[in-house]
Chains A and B, each alone.
Chain A
Amino acid sequence: MMAEQSALEIELEDDLLLILLEYLDVRALGRAARTCRRLRDAVTSPAADTKVWKPIHRRLCHYCDPDSEPAAPPCYRSLVREICTLSLTGYWRVKGCYDSSGAYEYDMRLSQHGKWVTGTATEPWIFEITGKLHGNSFVTHQRGRDRNDDDEWTNICSAVVAPSGLFMKGTWIQERDGNILFSNDHTGSFECRKISTAAAAPPHHQPLPPLLTATPPAAAAADDQSGPSGDGSSTSSSSSGSNSSGASSSAAVESPQGKRRRTDA
């Protein structure tokens, strides 16, 4: 034991080091693990999986159905990884219904920056969306307005995102003039499916590209409805570019992809 070495290195045995690590969050663990082999091994050890990663997983991961929580998953660290790498960026089809009755459907575009999320929707309502993703819980605030009149309101939505990152499900409640409206006409539930992972341009000041539809390629081309591009991999600079260029050839190529993704989802 050399005197010039750190207290941590020479003094703490593995089980004590682990207690220290239990107090760190995901990012701090990542940084610690990058310092030296000792800490890397500690962070990735089987003991850390249950003592360190399992509580983090429990805190971050929310299940729609508690029974679906894996009893003994192979590795909590990989589950945490799954949640920490969730990205909501892309285009989502929202299907919902009011608690009173009546279904609605619209597409929205979300853009995630760290845990913060912004987005827009334009049909049939105009929404400006801001929200936060914590683990796989998504809470969002949609400032909405009718296209036809000046009626304005806010939807407060809360959803749980599936580990795949392709589906979320939740409820909403409406607020007008600072008051929550306690009525089945102003609350409801919804499901969203990701229809494209195309990275969205900054949501404000950008028109939303035409929606992906199930129309045949020929019809889509005729209507100049090129869907947003991007196939699995994120960051595509053509996400909004394809809209302005409006090349019919790209529409003809991309629409079938859009259809496939829809059926996949």
Chain B
Amino acid sequence: METAPMETEQRLVKLSSSQGDVFEVEFGTACYADVVKQMIDFTSESSDAETIPLNLKTTVLEKVLQYCDYHRDNEPKEIPKPLPTTNLGEIVGDWDAAFINVDDENMLYELILAANYLDIKPLLDLACAKAACAIKHMTPDAIREHFNLQPEQMTPEEEQEMLEELKWCTDGGAA
């Protein structure tokens, strides 16, 4: 983690959501996201009290900050690809599994976008892995329903062609 001097360690940073809510967090937590650290470095010369605006909803920012606060002192675990199991707890540990077990599917995808925006690679991996878990055992029809996709996005010919092309993936085999 950051080996910052005592004064910066206890320094508080203000981050605001796109809805105007301001979060006051420890410097170390905010700096877990490299992008935020750069923003702080950039603005700190002008004023300590300046608030850093982030283009994230309040609920999403709150969630991201939870993650940063926990993982600034706990190295996240690497997630193997492809996933050996859909029981994420076995892979990433209880805290991360509970953290990413969000009720709202949209929140999960918001977190993917937020992690990408703030360049928090382990959070991006965790959220993508969670999304992958959700669709791993689904049939094509279930995936369509889950994501509300329209099958008519493909012509019957295209669909047939794709069935042929990908038949081997879905059959039983040595994989």
Q: Does A202 contact B (CB under 8 A)?
A: no
User: Which residues of B lie under 8 Å from residue A115 when comparing CB positions?
Assistant: 172-175
Contact, CB under 8 Å: B143 / A25: no
Number of A-B pairs whose CB atoms are under 8 Å?
153
CA distance A140 to B143 in the complex (A): 36
Q: Out of A6, A19, A81, A136, which one reaches B149, CB within 8 Å?
A: A6
User: Which residues of B lie under 8 Å from residue A114 when comparing CB positions?
Assistant: 172-173
User: Which residues of B lie under 8 Å from residue A25 when comparing CB positions?
Assistant: 82-83, 136, 175
Contact, CB under 8 Å: A86 / B174: yes
- Taking chain A's interface residues, is the majority helix, strand, or loop, or is none over half, making it mixed? helix
- Taking chain B's interface residues, is the majority helix, strand, or loop, or is none over half, making it mixed? helix
Interface membership of chain A positions 201-245, coded 1 if the CB is closer than 8 angstroms to chain B and 0 otherwise: 000000000000000000000000000000000000000000000
A-B contact pairs, 18 of them (CB 8 A): A4-B148, A23-B81, A25-B136, A26-B173, A27-B169, A27-B170, A30-B168, A31-B170, A34-B162, A35-B151, A40-B166, A81-B168, A84-B173, A84-B174, A86-B174, A115-B175, A133-B174, A134-B175
User: Which residues of B lie under 8 Å from residue A188 when comparing CB positions?
Assistant: none
Q: A16-B112, A84-B174, A135-B175 are in contact. Are A33 and B146 (CB under 8 A)?
A: no
Tell me the A residues contacting B by CB distance below 8 Å: 4-9, 11-12, 16, 19-40, 43-44, 55-56, 59-60, 80-81, 83-86, 112-115, 133-136
Of all chain B residues, the one with the shortest Cβ separation from A19 is B128
Interface size on B, residues (CB 8 A): 48
Tell me the B residues contacting A by CB distance below 8 Å: 79, 81-83, 105-106, 108-110, 112-113, 116, 124-125, 128-129, 131-133, 135-140, 143-144, 146-151, 153-154, 158-159, 162-163, 165-166, 168-170, 172-175
